[in-house]
Structure 1
Amino acid sequence: MLQPSNSALSFAEVGAVSLDSRRQSQDLEQEPLWPKGWRPWTCLVGCFFLMFNSWGIVNGYGTYLSYYKESLLADYTIVHFNVIGATQCFFILFLSFIAGRLLDANYSRWLLVGGSILLALGMFTLSICNGSGHRGDGEYMYTWVAQGLVSGLGMACFFVSSSQIAATWFKRKKGFAIGVVASGASVSITCIVSIFLAVPNPDHHFRRPSGWLATKTWIDKDAFKDPAFCWFTAAISWMFFGFYCVFFNLEEWSAEVGVGYKGLEPPVSGMHALRTYWLLAIMNGSSTIGRLSSSYLCDHFGALNVHAGVTLVSSFLCLFLWTFASNLGSALAFVIIFGAFSGAVIGLPPASMAAILGPHPAQQGKLGQWTGMMYTISSFFALAGPIISSHLVVKFDKYLTVQLWSGLCLFLSACCMCVAIIYHARDESFMRSRLLKLTPASTRSRSRSMSRKREMSEV
């Protein structure tokens, strides 16, 4: 039998939590549906650029990989190239627990300045570490340091910041805010713009630590007592195990099956194919649809529910549509449809974690830390996944291995999300029943009446 994660609390403690939750819920209900003033909207623009300069660059790594394999580093295997992209993913995710805790303590400006310096340094050094850019001029180790390590460290400062800063302004529309920010990964002076525009809401509940060296400052042990958090973290780990294998290997797969080509002209006259980078660009472009539409859906149907659904569909697309794509038409169908659903898959984790924490300001004050811890745990899977999948390609000389690997990982991710939904629904039901017992009937009636009036006024 499932037991509530807070069942260890005494009756008096549960009552105190429920009463506090009731007061916080009433405060949240008094918040306007959309924030007022210009600051929230300029902040949204700044956070959009932060995502653009983190996962937006990672999403386009497949084009770098194709160029390295074709020209700069022609003597290396696809495993070596996937190591560079996987290193980027690893550092972005691994350092998220530090970035998330600093955000909760309102040190966002320091993160953005530091990230801008590191990313600029990494990208500029990448442009000068490969000689004249001719075939065989590449230096693998320098490329790994510049693109994988230094740029990855800079992006780590941006990734969690992009969604958490925007969420402080859009209290009742977090899904919308996170969805708009996430679309930045599909579209660098933009770093400078973000430093000045991506400013958190000063009224947000910030948590300054009593001491920075204490373990509890960086790791919230209460998170691991919450089954919904644990299962959702497992889901995100499975997701990163297979997700970026698709983006990293799409161009090479398209060239192998003949739906894409790398030169200026198709190798065969009249060949029905696109240049390989167009397929990756189309996939990234269509992901904007998923990122924005999912932001609307999760505000109406719940972020966790939407997240599990789109992840399940994405797994089926890899297992069936991608594996049977053999011509340009079916390849385009895959990149467009998978791109739309994958945009929601990668864009919704912060919104889903916000749903697990609940709407109350004290709990939302932990959003950066819990999200960061989740990403840090999943960073090891993001590092290993692309390397394992590319090794399978080299061993079996078939991209079918990548298709099956990605599809299976996404399917297991969706299964873990479903378990997280069960535990989260159980906890919500438990707290709701305690709240109803501790709230006088007259107060409940008045609260319902006020809610109806507010809904009518918003309509």
Structure 2
Amino acid sequence: MAHSTENAHRNGQRIGSDSSEKQLCQYPTSGSVLSQSPTAVEDREQDWPSGWRPYTALFGCFLLMFLSWGLINCYGTFLSYYSESLFRGDDLMLSNLIGSTQSFVVLFFSFITGRLLDANHSRELLLAGSIIITIGMFMLSISNGNGGLNQGNYGLTWLTQGLVTGLGMACFFVSSSQIIATWFHKRKGFAIGVVASGASICKSFVVAVLLARPNPAHPFRKPEKWMSKRTWVDTSAFRDAAFCSFTASICALFLGFYCVFFSLEEWAATNGIAHKGTPPPGSKVTLSTYWLLCIMNGCSTFGRLSSAWLCDKFGALKVHMMVTVVSSMLCLFLWTFADTLAPALVFAILFGAFSGSVIGLPPASMAAILGPEPDRQARLGQWTGMMYTAAAPFALVGPVITGHLVTKYETYLGVQIWSGACLLVSAMFMALAKFFKDRKGTSGGSNEKV
């Protein structure tokens, strides 16, 4: 009898231990709190994290953002070359489709990468992304003959640049913001903004993969069964009005945002504002179209960093909504009336700064919607990934539609109005998300800035 009691006691201890471990790793149910190490609790209480690891991870994630969304930001230069040389005379929507396919693939697979990140599989994702992007860009370089007039192979270009490199970038995109969010708690918005600024600067794969490591003290969610719908789709998100409204805003955002970046160089060349290649003799146009896109991307670094600092002070959703409204007004009024170099440069500078904030803040805004609780923040990768996946079809069709409008009507006015209207609708949904979050925070007693 005593022996049986002793065995039962030992078994009870073992079962209790297993149960405690599952509470840490298992998919968290509503109201559950993930276990945390003393280090994690101490880190959350500090204004800035201590030690060198968080800051090397910050630099690594900064590089990951360039290697994913930074390549998409540069696609306007690819498109200018394609329409001028490889695919001259083709409908512009075909060239736009290559870049929009990249956007679609990166966003569509975000719900998978986000869930894998929540389960602490960042190393495997980064290695896979490095290999896939390298293969895609190498094959792109040999798929179009000598690169001469109308020597382009559209099918191979779409496959290598649109699909293959898009798959590789999908491994990096959500990883860049999610990994750094495990290190910076009180300064999460600023850290994500620094990472987002990497979309305008070029660096290498190796350094990014070596340095971008999540905080080992962060509570990770390892599911009991990977082959389960609940593992990949958090249905509780759809019952959160702020999440649904903000996801709708990101869908509207991607419907019009990259139409600007894809169209800028061709718009400037068509309207005689800047030139491609060598300027013709006697031409008064002195600026290459390439520099307009470089200026826009360069100024986005300032916008991403400044807005990141502001969102820690005033709330991510509030800052995100305001910069989106300003970006919309720049498209609708400044871009539509820019017909010489001076206003075109002003537009490139201002839109670059504000649009950098617009595209860099979604992860910070989603973190604000989730709230500061550790069990809620443990879902950041999955909720962010689900948000981006929902936006993927809109990122695919937006540039295709505007590209065809340009070919059919031979004007960029449709692109300018389309982009401005989409950004304005996006800001309206952000305001709605903030309303729902504030209402929920008031009823729940949360004082977190959103």
TM-score over 0.5 for the alignment? yes
- SS of corresponding position for 1:406: helix
Measure how far apart 1:256 and its partner are.
1.1
What amino acid sits opposite 1:109 in the alignment?
R
Contact 2:91/2:404, CA 8 A, preserved across alignment: no
Residues 1:365 and 2:378 are matched in the alignment? yes
Residues 1:294 and 2:323 are matched in the alignment? no
Residues 1:202 and 2:211 are matched in the alignment? no
Which residue, out of 412, 424, 432, partners 1:411?
Answer: 424
Residues 1:134 and 2:148 are matched in the alignment? yes
Contact 1:18/1:431, CA 8 A, preserved across alignment: no
Aligned counterparts of 1:215 and 1:413: Cα–Cα separation in 2: 29
Measure how far apart 1:133 and its partner are.
1.4
The structure-2 alpha-carbon separation of the partners of 1:18 and 1:198, relative to structure 1 and needing over 3 Å to count, comes to closer
Measure how far apart 1:61 and its partner are.
0.3
Residue by residue over 1:390-430, the C-alpha shift from the partner in whole angstroms, topping out at 9 and shown as x without a partner, is 11112221100000000000000000000000000001111
Q: Aligned residues: percent identity?
A: 60
Residue by residue over 1:129-164, the C-alpha shift from the partner in whole angstroms, topping out at 9 and shown as x without a partner, is 011111121100000000000000000000000000
Contact 1:120/1:188, CA 8 A, preserved across alignment: no
What amino acid sits opposite 2:355 in the alignment?
S
Q: How does 1:257-406 map to 2 (within 5 A)?
A: 257-265=271-279, 267=280, 269-406=282-419
Aligned counterparts of 1:46 and 1:127: Cα–Cα separation in 2: 27
Task: Give the corresponding residue for 1:115.
Answer: 129
Task: Give the corresponding residue for 1:173.
Answer: 187
Residues 1:242 and 2:256 are matched in the alignment? yes
- For structure 2, the 5+ residue unaligned runs are 1-29
Residues 1:161 and 2:137 are matched in the alignment? no
What amino acid sits opposite 2:299 in the alignment?
S
Contact 2:366/2:383, CA 8 A, preserved across alignment: yes
Residue by residue over 1:82-110, the C-alpha shift from the partner in whole angstroms, topping out at 9 and shown as x without a partner, is 00000000000000000000000000000
What amino acid sits opposite 2:140 in the alignment?
L
Aligned counterparts of 2:33 and 2:205: Cα–Cα separation in 1: 43
Which residue, out of 221, 227, 233, partners 2:241?
Answer: 227
What amino acid sits opposite 1:337 in the alignment?
L
Aligned counterparts of 1:316 and 1:180: Cα–Cα separation in 2: 25
Residues 1:69 and 2:83 are matched in the alignment? yes
Report the aligned-residue RMSD: 2.0
Residue by residue over 1:261-318, the C-alpha shift from the partner in whole angstroms, topping out at 9 and shown as x without a partner, is 11212x3625144111100000000000100001100000000000000000000000
Aligned counterparts of 2:441 and 2:33: Cα–Cα separation in 1: 15
Task: Give the corresponding residue for 2:445.
Answer: 432
- SS of corresponding position for 1:260: coil
Residues 1:82 and 2:96 are matched in the alignment? yes
Aligned counterparts of 1:244 and 1:269: Cα–Cα separation in 2: 34
The structure-2 alpha-carbon separation of the partners of 1:66 and 1:388, relative to structure 1 and needing over 3 Å to count, comes to same
The structure-2 alpha-carbon separation of the partners of 1:355 and 1:74, relative to structure 1 and needing over 3 Å to count, comes to same
Aligned counterparts of 2:106 and 2:250: Cα–Cα separation in 1: 14
What amino acid sits opposite 1:37 in the alignment?
G
Task: Give the corresponding residue for 1:457.
Answer: none
Residues 1:36 and 2:50 are matched in the alignment? yes
Contact 1:273/1:328, CA 8 A, preserved across alignment: no
Contact 2:97/2:399, CA 8 A, preserved across alignment: yes
Measure how far apart 1:17 and its partner are.
5.3
The structure-2 alpha-carbon separation of the partners of 1:29 and 1:259, relative to structure 1 and needing over 3 Å to count, comes to same
Aligned counterparts of 1:135 and 1:342: Cα–Cα separation in 2: 34
Contact 2:63/2:202, CA 8 A, preserved across alignment: no
Per the normalisation by structure 1, the TM-score is 0.88
Q: Which runs of 4+ in 1 moved over 6 A?
A: none
What amino acid sits opposite 1:216 in the alignment?
R
Measure how far apart 1:193 and its partner are.
1.4
- SS of corresponding position for 1:274: coil
- SS of corresponding position for 2:174: helix
Aligned counterparts of 1:111 and 1:30: Cα–Cα separation in 2: 26
Q: How does 1:95-106 map to 2 (within 5 A)?
A: 95-106=109-120
Measure how far apart 1:18 and its partner are.
11
Task: Give the corresponding residue for 1:49.
Answer: 63
Residue by residue over 1:313-371, the C-alpha shift from the partner in whole angstroms, topping out at 9 and shown as x without a partner, is 00000000000001000000000000000000000000000000001111000000000
The structure-2 alpha-carbon separation of the partners of 1:271 and 1:227, relative to structure 1 and needing over 3 Å to count, comes to same
Q: How does 1:9-28 map to 2 (within 5 A)?
A: 27=41
- SS of corresponding position for 2:445: helix
Measure how far apart 1:257 and its partner are.
1.1
Pairs aligned (count): 415
* Segment of structure 1 superposing worse, 64-73 or 146-155: 64-73
Task: Give the corresponding residue for 1:439.
Answer: none
What amino acid sits opposite 2:331 in the alignment?
C
Measure how far apart 1:19 and its partner are.
11
Aligned counterparts of 1:30 and 1:311: Cα–Cα separation in 2: 30
- SS of corresponding position for 2:46: coil
Residue by residue over 1:203-226, the C-alpha shift from the partner in whole angstroms, topping out at 9 and shown as x without a partner, is 101000110010000000000000
* Segment of structure 1 superposing worse, 234-243 or 193-202: 193-202
- SS of corresponding position for 1:54: helix
What amino acid sits opposite 2:397 in the alignment?
A
Per the normalisation by structure 2, the TM-score is 0.89
